[in-house]
Structure 1
Amino acid sequence: MSRANLRTALAQDMRVGAGNVLPMLLEHGADPDAPRLTFDVDVDGIPAWTPLSLRDLADRVAARADWFARKGIGRRDPVAVFVTSAADVFLTFFALNHLGAIPALMNGSMPVEVAAEFVRRLRGVGVVVDADHAALRDHELGVPVLGDVAETGTGDPAQAPPPYRHHADDPVVITHSSGTTRMPTPVVHSHHSLFAAVRAVRLTEARPHGRVRELSVLPAAHAAGIIVVNQALCNGYELLCLSGQGGPFEHSGEVVLDAIERWRPTGVFGFAVTWAELARFDLTRRDLSSVRNWSSTGDCAHEAHIRKLVAVGSHPVWTPDGVVDVPGSKFIDTLGSTEMGHAAFAISHRLGSDRYDRCVGKPYPFAEVALLDVTTGEEVPVGQVGQCGLKSPTLAPGYWNDSAATYRNRLNGYYLTGDLMYRDEEGYYYHLDRANDAIDLGDGNWLYTALTEERILARCPDVRDCTVLAAARDDGPPVTDVLLVLHEGADPGSDRGEEVRAAVGEAVARTLRRVDVVPDAQLTVGPTGKVRKFLMRQRVLADAPNGR
C-alpha cells in the first residue's frame, strides 16, 4: 500500500487508536522493515542509535507482553512504570496495551517520595522500575514491584497473547500533570481521545517535502510524547526519542544540539523549557541546517527564544531549478496540557514574524473554545480576559480515582483549562497567565506573571530566562519578586531594576520588591522542568514582612 493510501486508511479505520497503532499498521500493510523508531539506549542487545523497524518493535513488544502476562497482568490492570529511558517507557506502553492493561507512566524525574505516594494513590496491581529508581522498592506502595524493566524483554514473543481489541472509550494510559501546584495528578486517556488529533490533523495534512526525520525531546511519560510517537509511526516518519526532556536538570542543551548534529532531523519536538535551555548557546556555531521545524507544546514559548531558533535551520523553496534549501526555519507554537490531551491552539513563526506578546494563534478545527466568566458561566466579549473553556475529542476523560477533581473543572459543558486568555478581532488568542498565578491589583489592573516574564525577556537582551513570583497578602499590598537567569558573559552585578520596571508597566512596577539574578539551580522545578511557582510563592509570602 502506498504511504498516502495507508495514511487515509488509518484515518478512516475507527478501530485504530492510541492503544493499538503497531498491530494496526501491520494489519494495514505498512512496510515492516523500514526504519521507524531510534532510541539513545540499547534495546535488548540492539545497540543504541540503531533504527528499529515495525518488525523489530512488534517482536520486542510481544516479548514484553509475554513477560507481563506471565506475571498475571491483563485487561484493565493499572501498572505503574517508573523508568528513565524513552525506550523503556514506549515499549512498556505498547506491551501493556497489547494485553489491554493500563500503563501509568511516571516521569523519571519525580522525587522517589512523591513517586511512592503517586503509586499508592493509583491503587493499581503493580509497578516496574529500572536501576535508576530501585529506591522505590524501599517504600510501602500497597502493590508489588513486578520486577526490573530490564527483565521484561526476556519474554518469548511467540508466546504472547493476541493483541487486545480496544473499544474507543477504553483507557489506554494514565499520565500525570506537571505537579507545579500540587502532587502530580494522574490523568487517564482513552483509546480514541489520545489519537483524535492524529486522526483529525496529522494523517490528513500535507506531507512535508522529502525525507522526514524527527527528534523528540519531550518527556516520554507525557501524553505529548505518546502522541508524537504514534503520529510518526502512522505517517511513516523516522523518529529519534531522547531519554529525558532537554531541561536544565535532564539533558543540557548541548546534548540536544549534539543529537541534532549527529542525527540530522528535519523537525524537533520539545517543551518551552527545551527552547530556554537552547537559548543559552550561540546557535550559529552549531550545524542546525537540517532542521526545518521546531514544534513546541505545553506552555507557549517566549518570543526571545523563538527568534533565536527561526534564525537557524533551513526551509525548502521551490524555484525554476527545483527545490533548494534556504536559511531560516519555522517554529510551531502550540498551547496544551496533559488534561487537554493535545494542544488546542497553534501559531507558526518565521524570520520576520511579528505576532508575539504571547499570541497562541487560533484553535485547531477539532477544538471548540470559549473564554468564560467563571462567575456567571457566560462567554466574555472580544478583547476581554476570560478563562479558557474547551470542548474537544482530545480531552482526557478525567482524573484517575478522583471524580471530585474531574467534575470541578467542568463548566457549562466545557473543560476549564486554567488559562487566562483574550481574543482579538481577527480571532487570534493571547495567553496571559495561569489563573492561579495572576493577581488582581485593583482599579482594573492585573498582574499576569507569564505575560510579565514575556515582556521582561523581550526588553532585556542579556536575560536568558526569568521567573516572576507574585503573591497577594492579607495584611498588605501584593508583592512581586523577579528572578533573572542571565546569558553567559552578562554582568550579574548590573542593576536591571529600571529596565525591568519599564518592561512591566507602572501598575506592576509598584508591586516590585526585588529583582535578583539567580542561577538555574535556585529555581524550584517539577518533573517536566516547569517552575513550581506555587511553592516558590510561599517563600515570597514568608519574606514579605521584611519589606520590599
Structure 2
Amino acid sequence: MKQATARGWRARLAADPGIGTGNVLATVIAQGADLAGPGLTFDTAVDHFPAEHPLTLGELNERVQARTAWLAERGIGRRDVVAVWATEAQDVVLSFLALTRVGAIPALLNGKMAPAIADEYIRRLRVTAVLADAAHKPLLQTEVLAEPKDLGAGDPEKAPAGYQHHRDDPVVITHTSGTTGVPKAVLHTHTTLYAALKHLLTMPQAQGTDRILNALPIPHTATILMVNQVLGNRAEMLLLSSQDSDGVLRQIERWKPHGVYGFAVTWAGLAKEDLASREMGSVRMWFNTGDCAHEPHIRKLVAVGSRETVTRDGRVMVPGSHFIDGLGSSEMGHNGFHITHTVESEHYGRCIGKPYEFASATVLSSTGEELPAGKAGILGFRSPTVSPGYWNDSVNTYRFRLNGWFVTGDLVYRDEAGHYFHLDRIPDAVAGFEGPQLYTSLSEERILAALPDVADCTVVIVAEGGQYAADVLLELAPDAPEVDRTDAVKAAVGEEVAAILRRVTVVGADDVPVTVTGKVRKVALRQTLESEARS
C-alpha cells in the first residue's frame, strides 16, 4: 500500500464511528481492504494451513467465519462469557475473533496458569462455556465444551451476520498477572480497548510497525491491541505462542521483523545473548509494555538493528534501533506513557516518559490529593482506554479508584518537565509519605546499571523483628567471576536500602518464582525468605 493511500486508509478507519475492538476485522473488510492483502501469521498450523503460512485477509476471515458458524450452531451468542484456555496463538486469537463476532465475551486465560487457580478463576467468571486445548482440558474440573481447534470444522457459508456492537458492549476479559493469588478479571469494552488505536490512526505510522513479531503473552490485553492494530494498518504480524527469549531470537533472525513487541522479561533474556554476533539488522523498533524495562537491557537492544533518520541529505538508515518504553497494564488498556530510547539516550533512571496525548496522569497522596513535582506518591491515571472494572468484582473495581483517578498500584514521581519515573509496585515497597523510602524496583535498576556482570537481579524487602531487611538475588552473566559483590551492591542501592541489606545471594534463572507473564512473584519470595529467617 503506497504511503498516501495508507494515510487515507487509516484516516477513514479513524473516522468510522462504529469501529471498535469487537469488529475490526469485519470493518476493515467492509471498508474495502484487499482480501489478498495481509491477515495474520501464526507459528502453528491453522486448520489446513501449515505453520507460518501468512494468512491473507480473506483466508483469515474465512477461518473466523468457520468458527463463528460453529459457535452459533451451539447457541453461543450475545453476552455469553466463554473461557478460552490454550497455549497456541491461533487457538486464542481466532477464538477471540469468532466469539466477538457472535456477540459473546471471550475470557482469555494464560496457558501457564496453575490448574487449581484456573478452575477457581473460571468459577468466579460464571461462564457459559469453556474452550480448552488438548493439554489443558484434562487439568480442569470444569466441564469443557470443545477444543478451540474443533471450531475450525464449522461451515463458513453458514456463519450468521456479525453482532452489531454498541460502544459500551463488553468484548473481552483478560486477567492480571496474579502476583498475589487468583488473578483479577479485567473487562474491556468495544471502545476502551480501541480508543488508543483510533488515536494512533490519526498519527503518521511509526517505522517498524509494518512487519511485527509479536512476543507478547497471547491471552494478554496487549496482544488483542496488536491484532487490531496490524489489521487496521494493513501490516504483517507473526504471533508467537511462547515468549522465551531463545525462540524470539531465532524468529528475529529467520523472519526478519522490523518491530518486536514484548514484555520486560523477554528483553532481559535477549540481553544475556551476544546480540552483536546475531542477525539483528532488520529490527528498527522494540516496543515494551507492562513493567518498564531496565536501562542495561535497553542499551544492549538499541545497539543492534537499524533505523531511519532525517539528515541534511534526506532520510538515511543509521546503525542502532529504537526502543519505545513506558508503563502499561491490562486495566490501563494501552501503554499510558512513552519514551523513546536510541544509542544516544541518557534519560534513564526508570523514566517512563510522559502520558500519551489521549491520557492524563498525576501523583496522588494516600487520600487522593495531587502532589507536586519531585514528590513520590501513587500513580493516578485517566484515559478513555481504562477498563470499566473487574468482572463480577465490584469490591476491587472501586478499591482501585481514588478521587476520580484509576490507581495502577505503582509508586512514581514526576520531574519539573513532566516526565514520570517509576519507583516500585506498592506491595513491594516500604514507602510511606513520611519516613523510610525503600524501593525494590529502583534498587534493581541501580544494581544492574552499576554491576555490568549482573545479568538480572531481584530485590525483596521483608519484615524482621519489627524492622526491615533487604535480600538481593543476583543472576550473573556466564563469564562473571566468583567474587563477593556485597559492597558493590551497597554502594549502588543508596543509603536507605544499604542500611537494611541482609544478604546478597547468587541464584540461577529458575530459582526466582514468576507469574504466568514472567513477573517476579515477590509476595511468594518474601514469604519464603521470611520463613527461612525464622528457621
TM-score, length-scaled by structure 2: 0.97
| Pair 1:428 & 2:407 matched | no
What is the letter of the counterpart of residue 356 of structure 1? Y
The equivalences for 1:309-458 within 5 A come to 309-318=301-310, 323-375=315-367, 377-440=368-431, 444-458=435-449
CA contact (8 A) 1:131 1:148 kept: yes
CA contact (8 A) 1:398 1:406 kept: yes
Using a 3 Å threshold, how does the CA distance of structure 1 residues 544 and 5 change in structure 2: closer, same or farther?
same
| Pair 1:234 & 2:232 matched | yes
> CA shift at 1:182, angstroms?
2.2
> CA shift at 1:318, angstroms?
4.5
**Which residue number in structure 1 is paired with residue 113 of structure 2?**
110
> CA shift at 1:374, angstroms?
1.5
What is the letter of the counterpart of residue 271 of structure 2? A
Using a 3 Å threshold, how does the CA distance of structure 1 residues 489 and 10 change in structure 2: closer, same or farther?
same
Unaligned runs of 5+ in 1: none
CA contact (8 A) 1:409 1:415 kept: yes
Q: CA–CA distance in 2 between the matches of 1:349 and 1:442? A: 31
CA contact (8 A) 2:165 2:190 kept: yes
Q: Deviations over 1:200-233 (max 9, x none)?
A: 1x21221246982111100110001110111111
Unaligned runs of 5+ in 2: none
| Pair 1:152 & 2:151 matched | yes
Structure 1 residue matching 2:29: 3-state secondary structure = helix
CA contact (8 A) 1:112 1:135 kept: no
**Which residue number in structure 2 is paired with residue 288 of structure 1?**
280
Q: CA–CA distance in 1 between the matches of 2:209 and 2:109? A: 33
Structure 2 residue matching 1:335: 3-state secondary structure = coil
Q: CA–CA distance in 2 between the matches of 1:211 and 1:517? A: 39
Q: CA–CA distance in 1 between the matches of 2:98 and 2:215? A: 22
Q: CA–CA distance in 2 between the matches of 1:277 and 1:89? A: 25
Q: CA–CA distance in 2 between the matches of 1:227 and 1:443? A: 39
CA contact (8 A) 2:299 2:343 kept: yes
Q: Deviations over 1:237-269 (max 9, x none)?
A: 11111112x2xxxx2x22111101111111000
Using a 3 Å threshold, how does the CA distance of structure 1 residues 285 and 537 change in structure 2: closer, same or farther?
same
| Pair 1:119 & 2:122 matched | yes
What is the letter of the counterpart of residue 423 of structure 1? R
Q: CA–CA distance in 2 between the matches of 1:509 and 1:327? A: 39
> CA shift at 1:356, angstroms?
0.4
What is the letter of the counterpart of residue 57 of structure 1? L
CA contact (8 A) 2:208 2:259 kept: no
**Which residue number in structure 1 is paired with residue 295 of structure 2?**
303
2:78 aligned to which of 50, 75, 78: 75
1:130 aligned to which of 126, 129, 133: 133
> CA shift at 1:388, angstroms?
0.7
1:34 aligned to which of 37, 43, 56: 37
Q: CA–CA distance in 2 between the matches of 1:108 and 1:30? A: 33
Q: Deviations over 1:486-536 (max 9, x none)?
A: 111223x32110110000112211211110010111111111011111111
**Which residue number in structure 2 is paired with residue 217 of structure 1?**
215
Structure 1 residue matching 2:361: 3-state secondary structure = strand
> CA shift at 1:424, angstroms?
0.5
The equivalences for 1:144-183 within 5 A come to 144-183=143-182
Q: Deviations over 1:168-215 (max 9, x none)?
A: 110000000010122111111000000010001x21221246982111
Structure 1 residue matching 2:119: 3-state secondary structure = helix
Q: CA–CA distance in 1 between the matches of 2:310 and 2:450? A: 37
CA contact (8 A) 2:208 2:284 kept: no
What is the letter of the counterpart of residue 239 of structure 2? C
> CA shift at 1:352, angstroms?
1.6
CA contact (8 A) 1:441 1:478 kept: no
What is the letter of the counterpart of residue 359 of structure 2? A
**Which residue number in structure 2 is paired with residue 465 of structure 1?**
456
**Which residue number in structure 1 is paired with residue 185 of structure 2?**
186
Q: CA–CA distance in 2 between the matches of 1:72 and 1:210? A: 42
Q: Deviations over 1:431-462 (max 9, x none)?
A: 00011111148973311100000000001101
Structure 1 residue matching 2:428: 3-state secondary structure = coil
1:7 aligned to which of 3, 6, 10: 10
**Which residue number in structure 2 is paired with residue 101 of structure 1?**
104
CA contact (8 A) 1:441 1:447 kept: no
**Which residue number in structure 2 is paired with residue 262 of structure 1?**
254
**Which residue number in structure 2 is paired with residue 510 of structure 1?**
499
**Which residue number in structure 2 is paired with residue 66 of structure 1?**
69
Q: Deviations over 1:253-292 (max 9, x none)?
A: 2211110111111100000001001011000011100100
What is the letter of the counterpart of residue 273 of structure 2? F
**Which residue number in structure 1 is paired with residue 204 of structure 2?**
206
> CA shift at 1:3, angstroms?
2.3
Count residues with an aligned counterpart.
532
Q: CA–CA distance in 2 between the matches of 1:37 and 1:321? A: 37
The equivalences for 1:268-279 within 5 A come to 268-279=260-271
Q: CA–CA distance in 2 between the matches of 1:320 and 1:538? A: 59
User: RMSD of aligned C-alpha atoms?
Assistant: 1.6
CA contact (8 A) 1:420 1:432 kept: yes
Q: CA–CA distance in 2 between the matches of 1:465 and 1:403? A: 37
Structure 2 residue matching 1:243: 3-state secondary structure = coil
> CA shift at 1:324, angstroms?
3.6
Q: CA–CA distance in 2 between the matches of 1:203 and 1:412? A: 32
Q: CA–CA distance in 1 between the matches of 2:81 and 2:519? A: 27
CA contact (8 A) 2:327 2:338 kept: yes
Identity of aligned residues (%): 54
Q: CA–CA distance in 1 between the matches of 2:475 and 2:108? A: 32
**Which residue number in structure 2 is paired with residue 478 of structure 1?**
468
> CA shift at 1:320, angstroms?
7.2
